[in-house]
Amino acid sequence: MNDASPSSIVLRFIEYVNRGDIEGLDSLISKDLVFTDIRGRVFREKGFMAGYLAEFPDYKIDVRHVLRGGDGVAIIGKTTGSHVLPGIEERATLVWTAEVRDGLISQWRIYSDEEYAERS
């Protein structure tokens, strides 16, 4: 896949997440990545996703919709295999947002409905 559009880069990132491909993830993340989790905690570590996937190897993102504006991309979907109870995962819709700069993801943030965030 040679498409360098922000949407394509984000979808490739999700593909790597779903495969647990750490090397692939690293190839799409900027050195100064800002990762914000559901609770609003900010991490500035390029290796954050690798640690999360090591702890939750069954974590998957199911993309339902992709929205794009400029270099920003929003993904609406669901997840499985995370740190959240399966019953809550089944009901929750999540939004992931990303900013792509120079072909790399520089910001990644996860939003959820209130129930998901409170119980995660």
pLDDT at 78: 93
Asked whether residue 13 is domain-assigned, the answer is: yes
The Cα 64–Cα 102 span in angstroms is: 26
Q: Which residues pair with 67 in a beta bridge?
A: 74
The Cα 81–Cα 32 span in angstroms is: 27
Q: Is the pLDDT of residue 9 over 90?
A: yes
DSSP states along 95-116 = EEEEEEETTEEEEEEEEE-HHH
Quote the pTM value.
0.88
| Residues 4, 77 contacting (CB under 8 angstroms) | no
Q: Is the pLDDT of residue 59 over 80?
A: yes
The predicted-structure confidence for 21-33, as pLDDT tens digits, reads as follows 999 999 999 999 9
Asked whether residue 1 is domain-assigned, the answer is: no
Query: Residue 89, SS3?
Result: helix
pLDDT at 50: 83
**What is the pLDDT confidence band of residue 114, given thresholds at 50, 70 and 90?**
low
| Backbone Cα Rg of the chain | 13
pLDDT at 53: 87
**What is the pLDDT confidence band of residue 83, given thresholds at 50, 70 and 90?**
confident
Any idea what the CATH number is for the domain that residue 99 is in? 3.10.450.50
Asked whether residue 87 is domain-assigned, the answer is: yes
Number of domains present in the structure of the chain: 1
